[in-house]
Structure 1
Amino acid sequence: MSDHPGSQATLVETDPAEVPLRRNRNFQLLWSGSAFAFLGKEITDLVYPLVVLAVTGSPAWAGAFGGVQMFVSLLVGLPAGALADSKDRRLLLITMETVRALAAGSVLVAALLDRITLPHLLVVAVAIGAVQPLGGSARMLLVRAVVPPKQLTAALTQEEVRSHSAALAGPPLGGLLYSAAVVLPFAATAISFLVSLVCALFVRPPQRTKPAQSTVDGSALSRVLTGVALLWKVPMLRHSTLFAAVLNTVSAPLILIVIVILGREGVSPAMVGLTMAALAVGGLAGTLLVRPLHRNLSPGALMLWLGGTAVVLIGALSLPFGAWWMAAALFLLGLGGPSMRVLVDILIFRQVPDEQRGRTVTAFMTILGAGAALGMVSSGLLLQYLSAPIAILTLSAVLAIALSFTIADRRIRAARWPEEPTAD
């Protein structure tokens, strides 16, 4: 491969047979396993803070669980990419699901014995945060390995269907199970991670040829930072990553701000839940738009369109028209999410050689995670000193500024979808 950024490589990729995705055994195993795993993750994202709150009575400690998990994921993100490029990706995925199943199982046993403690839960948060970027990048790269290039957009779209379906079903299911018995959500999540583990055990991806020595030489730090360097070197990747990070920064705290607004208006918890679900429903519906949008718009035009609509819709959340108005705005905002994520995935897979994709993917995920963390911290400060509608307008203005810089770049406006790389 000679048209990629970075060092030359002798890696030769053998594309799997172009059978329909529904008959692609490896893809269906990965998809089915990840569907169960994502459902389990969505359940625990709701239940773990509830358990911490029940054990400590402290909202601060309940929030600390997610904070610890996010911090460890950010810390491990870049080194995890180097491992995904140098180690067996299937083994890394198996490791993640094993750790997550053991973590959920340990809390299940503690709940059965009525011995749940805060130190135990914080250790679980560290373990989950440490393996999440490792297995997450490995799963994405395995999907690329078992899917022919022409089917990649369709495969990534199905991945979006899975994640949004889990986001829609997981929290209500977790709340229902937790209300029935504390042990039930942890039993369900342990089983879901075990199912994903079993699916990963049966995946047989094409064998990878080792990269040329020039791609792996250098200090450990330089190898870890390779993904960041690649994202910065390629103009379209640089701008799409920065724009996606800003979009993540302003969208991550929206749920919290909307909850604050609806709470002050005396909206019932049930209606608050329905309003929040609108974002996931929009994301699920948005998977139907991925193919036509990617077919009819260039990457630059698509990014500008999604960014412009997001500025308007985020600003619309500040209008005092009640819960149904907010639900409609969140639904419309969710429609663009899948197309934006698939856009960046496609750009990475088509412009970065396989032996550097792990570091590039985890670099991208780490930057987005840092943006989300910054957004959550900033939103707390905005809500402390400003009214919620002004806080929303501030976030919309930040995104508008980022969009204006993007529009001003001629290279982004003129960008075209890169060709799928071919083997030498």
Structure 2
Amino acid sequence: MTLLQRLRGLRMDTTPFRESRDFRLLLVAGTVFAFGSMITYVAIPYQVYKLTDSNFMVGLVGAVELVPLIVFGLWGGALADHLDRRRLLVLYGIAQAVIVAGLALNSFVGEPRLWVLFVLAVLLTSTSSLQRPAREALMPRTVKHEQIAAAQALTSLGSQMGVLAGPLLGGVLIAWVGTGWCFVVDACGLVLATLMYVAMRAYPHTTATTPPSIASIMEGVRYGVGRRDLLGTYTVDIASMLLAMPVVLFPAMAEEVFAAPERLGLLYAAGTIGAVLATATSGWIGSVHRHGAAITVSAALYGAMVALAGLSPSFWLAFVFLALAGATDMVSAIFRGTVWNQTIPENMRGRLAGIEMLSYSFGPRAGQVRGGFVADAWNVRGAVVSGGLACVVGVAATAAALRTFWSYDARTDEHAVAERAARAAHDDVRAGI
């Protein structure tokens, strides 16, 4: 194989985007949602700080959002496993547009109300949490089963592009026209994205559904915990974010470690840049079948890159390692999403997507507490390095304890085989065979 052929093999597989109209609509709409949400993510804390001049009040915004994020994420998953998922996307999209419009109105009045900001922030988090399981559960239905890995990479790329560009535009809008226009831009994007959901065709459930209830949520929890391959994906994600996520330490790294506070924004951007590059060169992912091993190795490399960033003698070397950490974390995330979408039964996808929200909600927030505590008790470098090394140990321990997770192979795993057969049977029925 020539070098040119190897390079072509890295090229991102865009087949799902080219072949599926509904996947295109879902991908673009999801990217717009991510882009707009990150603009608002910048604007709300900034406005709270300007109104109160209090870092505690800024932190309180995230604290009050945590409970609705978890509760409504789980309930949204139960709803997505019973009701029309496309209709849920439309209804929650409209709700988010109305809420963000309320944030804009509050900003344009003479004296914005702090309590209104908090209430609308909670409502926005609630509706977003209700919507996300429906979007994630619907994605596999819009592509062929063998295209799920490529579709997952494309979805991740769209999300990362939104995460990268949203805060940049949010900062520009705040500086030039004020926070109110941040919310106006987000609201317009939400309306546009919701219209894309309207344009999608209906995707009725293909199996019997379970009405939403506490019992149905617990059924999903038991299913997720009972499958050791799924449990491995959740545990690895939590270990990575809880032990190694260094974001909370970036201000101290820029100020104290590298004496370059003007480069703080680059530290925040490094991981996203690495993640975008990883997805843009993800053509090889479809040829990997040992997904458990791939997740384990990628997550361990993430911890190692974070540790090396903490040891780096120069800012730019740390930037490179943080970018590599973002790339390896994204590869792990793509394979985790592939396992979920290729093996979870149709009637469980929403609830399992809601449970997934627990891992990426709890891990980063608890990781911020861990990182801040260790940095104050020891030092900033020690907090970053120890977190990265602990991640490597935690991921390795997970693989050792959950052997079926490590040995997972999409070609032979019973759940993957069953879901592949179910999709084939459904496609035959739709084709009239």
For normalisation by structure 2, the TM-score amounts to 0.87
> One-letter code of the match for 1:227?
G
- The aligned residue for residue 234 of structure 1 is 227
Are 2:191 and 1:199 equivalent residues in the alignment? no
Are 2:186 and 1:189 equivalent residues in the alignment? yes
> Do the aligned partners of 1:102 and 1:190 also contact (CA within 8 Å) in 2?
yes
Name the SS of the counterpart of 2:18 in structure 1.
helix
Deviating 4+ runs (over 6 angstroms): none
> One-letter code of the match for 1:341?
A
Q: 1:245-394 alignment to 2 at 5 Å?
A: 245-252=238-245, 254-265=246-257, 267-296=259-288, 298-394=290-386
Q: 1:48-127 alignment to 2 at 5 Å?
A: 48-127=44-123
* Cα separation, 1, equivalents of 2:258 and 2:294: 38
> Do the aligned partners of 1:246 and 1:402 also contact (CA within 8 Å) in 2?
yes
> Do the aligned partners of 2:217 and 2:351 also contact (CA within 8 Å) in 1?
yes
> One-letter code of the match for 1:114?
G
- The aligned residue for residue 429 of structure 2 is none
Q: 1:18-37 alignment to 2 at 5 Å?
A: 21-37=17-33
- Greater helix share, structure number: 2
Per-residue deviation, residues 16-42 of structure 1 (Å, max 9, x unmatched): xxx853242211111121121111011
Name the SS of the counterpart of 1:225 in structure 2.
helix
> One-letter code of the match for 2:196?
C
| Structure 1 residue 290: Cα displacement | 3.6
> Do the aligned partners of 2:291 and 2:335 also contact (CA within 8 Å) in 1?
yes
* Cα separation, 2, equivalents of 1:193 and 1:112: 19
> Do the aligned partners of 2:292 and 2:407 also contact (CA within 8 Å) in 1?
yes
Please, which moves more after superposition, 185-194 or 258-267? 258-267
- The aligned residue for residue 222 of structure 1 is 215
> One-letter code of the match for 1:165?
M
| Structure 1 residue 67: Cα displacement | 2.0
| Structure 1 residue 380: Cα displacement | 2.4
> Do the aligned partners of 2:237 and 2:359 also contact (CA within 8 Å) in 1?
no
* Cα separation, 2, equivalents of 1:202 and 1:293: 30
Q: 1:29-48 alignment to 2 at 5 Å?
A: 29-48=25-44
> One-letter code of the match for 2:395?
L
| Structure 1 residue 291: Cα displacement | 3.8
Per-residue deviation, residues 159-207 of structure 1 (Å, max 9, x unmatched): 1111111111111110000001222211111111111111111111333
- The aligned residue for residue 420 of structure 2 is 421
> Do the aligned partners of 2:157 and 2:280 also contact (CA within 8 Å) in 1?
no
> Do the aligned partners of 1:137 and 1:358 also contact (CA within 8 Å) in 2?
yes
> Do the aligned partners of 2:76 and 2:134 also contact (CA within 8 Å) in 1?
no
* Cα separation, 2, equivalents of 1:107 and 1:284: 30
> Do the aligned partners of 2:26 and 2:139 also contact (CA within 8 Å) in 1?
yes
| Structure 1 residue 408: Cα displacement | 2.3
| Structure 1 residue 329: Cα displacement | 0.8
| Structure 1 residue 223: Cα displacement | 0.8
* Cα separation, 1, equivalents of 2:252 and 2:197: 41
RMSD of aligned C-alpha atoms?
2.0
* Cα separation, 1, equivalents of 2:172 and 2:354: 34
* Cα separation, 2, equivalents of 1:48 and 1:268: 27
* Cα separation, 1, equivalents of 2:228 and 2:39: 38
User: Unaligned stretches of 5+ in structure 1?
Assistant: 1-18
395, 398, 406: which is aligned to 1:406?
398
* Cα separation, 2, equivalents of 1:407 and 1:37: 35
Are 2:243 and 1:244 equivalent residues in the alignment? no
Per-residue deviation, residues 332-390 of structure 1 (Å, max 9, x unmatched): 01112332222222222222211111111111121321122211222222222221111
> One-letter code of the match for 1:203?
M
Please, which moves more after superposition, 241-250 or 336-345? 336-345
- The aligned residue for residue 162 of structure 1 is 158
* Cα separation, 2, equivalents of 1:25 and 1:293: 23
| Structure 1 residue 255: Cα displacement | 1.5
> One-letter code of the match for 1:199?
M
Distance change in 2, residues 1:71/1:33 (3 Å)? same
Distance change in 2, residues 1:324/1:257 (3 Å)? same
> Do the aligned partners of 2:101 and 2:184 also contact (CA within 8 Å) in 1?
yes
* Cα separation, 1, equivalents of 2:390 and 2:221: 23
Are 2:129 and 1:133 equivalent residues in the alignment? yes
* Cα separation, 2, equivalents of 1:225 and 1:187: 39
* Cα separation, 1, equivalents of 2:58 and 2:353: 30
| Structure 1 residue 73: Cα displacement | 0.1
| Structure 1 residue 320: Cα displacement | 4.6
| Structure 1 residue 60: Cα displacement | 0.8
* Cα separation, 1, equivalents of 2:365 and 2:268: 20
Distance change in 2, residues 1:233/1:266 (3 Å)? closer
Per-residue deviation, residues 118-155 of structure 1 (Å, max 9, x unmatched): 10011111111211222111111222121111221111
